[in-house]
Amino acid sequence: MNVTLTLLFKDLATEWRSRDRLVAMTVFSFLVVVVFQFAWPPMEPDEVVRFAPGVLWVTYVFAAVIGLGRTFAMELENDAMTALALAPGTRGWIFLGKAGATWLLITLVQAMTGFVFALFFRVDLWTGLAGTATVAALANVAICSIGTLLSAMSVRSRFRDVLLPVLLIPTLIPVLAAAVHGTAATIAGDGLPFAALQPLVVIGGIYLILCFLLFDYVLDE
């Protein structure tokens, strides 16, 4: 547990000094919102509410890919990956520290992006803010879990910038479907449906446990 807290604090402190991941994800998200705004055809307010969650989560996922791609970039310098592998205790705690820091960064970017999205598309996200925040928090567990594992697997590859999204996005399809369903319901003021909540909890829990256990073998490679 001490390893997890140490890595979490180290990654957040490093990000606070450099802000490279945070700025990259935020700028990308804002640009995607602007592009969708120009490409968005004239719609009635009801149609906007129906299609907006899909656009919002596409933006979230691709911004997350950018952040996850930099998760282990610093560890490549001075062979710090070897130092991580030699850390005492179960290596799964290293995974939790990395995933936790990424979860916080992605959640912060999503909050800022949601505010900008609501302004551009005139969508009232305050109506079901608690439900939307719950959906995002649970979906981010799955995104950060499998994303951190795949980032560690691909970081030494010459094609890591292409390999990570190719491997990650297919694993997030059920998460994305449930997140869009849940967000659409909360924006419409219908409350968070159990049909969307259940897969987010189940998939997020499975990814978290499996990645915790498999991370030991990933560092060995």
Among 23-27, 84-88, 90-94, 216-220, the range with the most confident prediction by mean pLDDT is 23-27
Residue 1: per-residue pLDDT: 67
* 132, 197 contact by CB (below 8 A): no
CA distances for 139 relative to 36, 65, 150, 183, angstroms: 22, 14, 17, 11
pLDDT computed for residue 189 by the predictor: 77
Do the Cβ atoms of 185 and 160 come closer than 8 Å? no
Q: What is the mean pLDDT of residues 121-129?
A: 79
Domain ranges of the chain: 2-220
What's the pLDDT score for residue 173? 93
pLDDT(176) > 90: yes
> Which comes out higher in pLDDT, residue 54 or 11?
54
At 130 the pLDDT is 86
Contact predicate 128/186, CB 8 Å: yes
**Going by C-beta distance under 8 Å and a sequence separation of 6 or more, which residues neighbour residue 138?**
197, 200, 201, 204
Q: Taking Cα atoms as reference points, which of 200, 53, 75, 60 lies closest to residue 124?
A: 53
Q: What is the mean pLDDT of residues 87-99?
A: 76
Q: Is the pLDDT of residue 118 over 90?
A: no
Tell me how far the alpha carbon of residue 217 is from its chain's centroid. 23
| Residue 41 pLDDT > 80 | no
- Full DSSP string of 110-142: HHHHHHHHHHHHT---STTHHHHHHHHHHHHHH
Answer yes or no: is pLDDT of 220 > 70: no
Residue 172 vs residue 128, higher pLDDT: 172
What is the arithmetic mean of pLDDT over 17-23? 82
Per-residue confidence at 87, pLDDT binned at 50, 70, 90? low
| Model confidence at 116: pLDDT above 80 | yes
Contact status, residue 94 vs residue 215, Cβ threshold 8 Å: yes
Alpha helix (H) residue ranges in 40-122: 45-69, 80-85, 92-121
What is the maximal distance between C-alpha atoms in the chain?
Answer: 58
Please state the rounded mean pLDDT for residues 20-26: 87
The predicted structure's pLDDT at residue 103: 93
Confidence of residue 88 (pLDDT cuts 50, 70, 90): low
Taking the CA atoms of 195, 101, 107 and 158 in sequence, report the sign of the dihedral they define: negative
Average pLDDT score over residue span 13-22: 80
> What CA–CA distance (Å, rounded) separates 209 from 204?
9
Please state, rounded to an integer, the average pLDDT across all residues of the chain: 83
